[in-house]
Amino acid sequence: MDIFKILDELKIKYDVLEHQAVYTVEEAKQLEDMIEGLGCKNLFLTDKKENYFLLVLEENKKANLKELAKLLNVSKLTFASEEALQEILGLEPGSVTPLSIINDKENKVLLIIDNDIVDKKILVHPNTNTKTMSIEFKDIEKFIEHTNHKYILYKE
């Protein structure tokens, strides 16, 4: 899917920075002086029943998977496999982004969004870790709605 084409069709504004591939939050942090927005951590998670979740947090926060599992009423959360990431979201490690739900045709992934980013401009990858986009969260919501996905807000 061409993310840029979809964003343009939805009349969503964004800025883009092209760069060498980044694989970690620490590597991505080095780009923040070059593009406006709050860095995010995107974690692709699963439970024992193979339910999938995409947790989007401010980059400096730690995910409390035990607490999150309780909130979601699941027994235990772990990181999903690279195979599941490829099969469900069509991504390689380091490219996870809320925009990747466009590839989740079976609607298997529930988005969990950090409450502290909802009124901010955030940095996300457009399904590749060689570009970073700056986009208002309200426009991410518009995109989520377009994909027929749901999200829940998470307050740490």
pLDDT value of residue 87: 94
With residue 102 as reference, give the H or E element that holds it: none
Distances (CA, A) of 3 to 8, 20, 28, 67, 105: 9, 19, 20, 33, 15
Q: Cα–Cα distance between 52 and 91 in angstroms, integer?
A: 14
- Residue 81: its pLDDT value, please? 94
- Determine the structural domain holding residue 132 and report its residue range: 3-154
44-78 pLDDT, tens digit per residue, is 999 999 999 999 999 889 889 999 999 999 989 99
* pLDDT at res. 1: 59
Domains in the chain, number? 1
Mean per-residue pLDDT over the chain, rounded: 91
CATH number at residue 122: 3.90.960.10
Dihedral (C-alpha) 73, 82, 152, 42: value to the nearest 10 degrees?
Answer: 130
pLDDT tens digits for range 2-18: 899 999 999 999 999 99
**Integer Cα distance of 106 and 88 in angstroms:** 8
Q: Model confidence at 95, in pLDDT bands (50, 70, 90)?
A: confident
